[in-house]
Copies of this chain bind each other. A is one copy, B any other.
């Protein structure tokens, strides 16, 4: 995008999109939610160009959505973690996920959100359908089903 912001708009939707609306940004955040926290792991998982990934991570750190912190010294190796501000984007990701489940992938569901422990799925208001609780980020887990892209023929895991 030419400018990442929307100068004619004074709107909370626009202001959020100015921060997380660029290509790849929300997928990076999704990956961090899933526990993918290192540069190379993110790059491999997303297939994004490394310079773009670098630019996005730097921006997200500047915005206070991620923090960069070393998980080892010598050599310094960093990982990216969500701040509270970043974790508060969870409802956005859940809303995108649920719309994608309904309209995106022809009934396939590669990922399912569950209430930790209880195991119930989440409804569109992030409540557990089993126990009825309001589920927060920390109480939810994302379970990857085995679902793959339909046109890709499933192969036995080999060599």
| A residues at B contact (CB < 8 Å) | 1-2, 6-19, 21, 23, 26-27, 30, 45-47, 85, 88-89, 91-105, 108-111, 124-127, 134, 147-149
Contacts and interface: CB of A to CB of B under 8 A. Distances in A.
Contacts of A111: 11-12
Given A110-B10, A125-B125, A104 B16 contact: yes
A13 B26 contact: yes
B97 A95 contact: no
Copies per complex of this chain:
2
B30 A11 contact: yes
A47 B2 CA distance: 13
18 contacts: A1-B23, A9-B46, A10-B110, A10-B149, A11-B100, A11-B111, A12-B97, A12-B98, A12-B104, A13-B93, A14-B100, A15-B100, A16-B99, A21-B23, A21-B26, A88-B99, A91-B98, A91-B124
**In the complex, the 4 A-B pairs of residues with the closest C-beta atoms, listed nearest first:** A12-B100, A15-B104, A8-B47, A16-B100
A88 B100 contact: no
A17, A30, A105, A148 pick with most chain B CB within 10 angstroms: A17
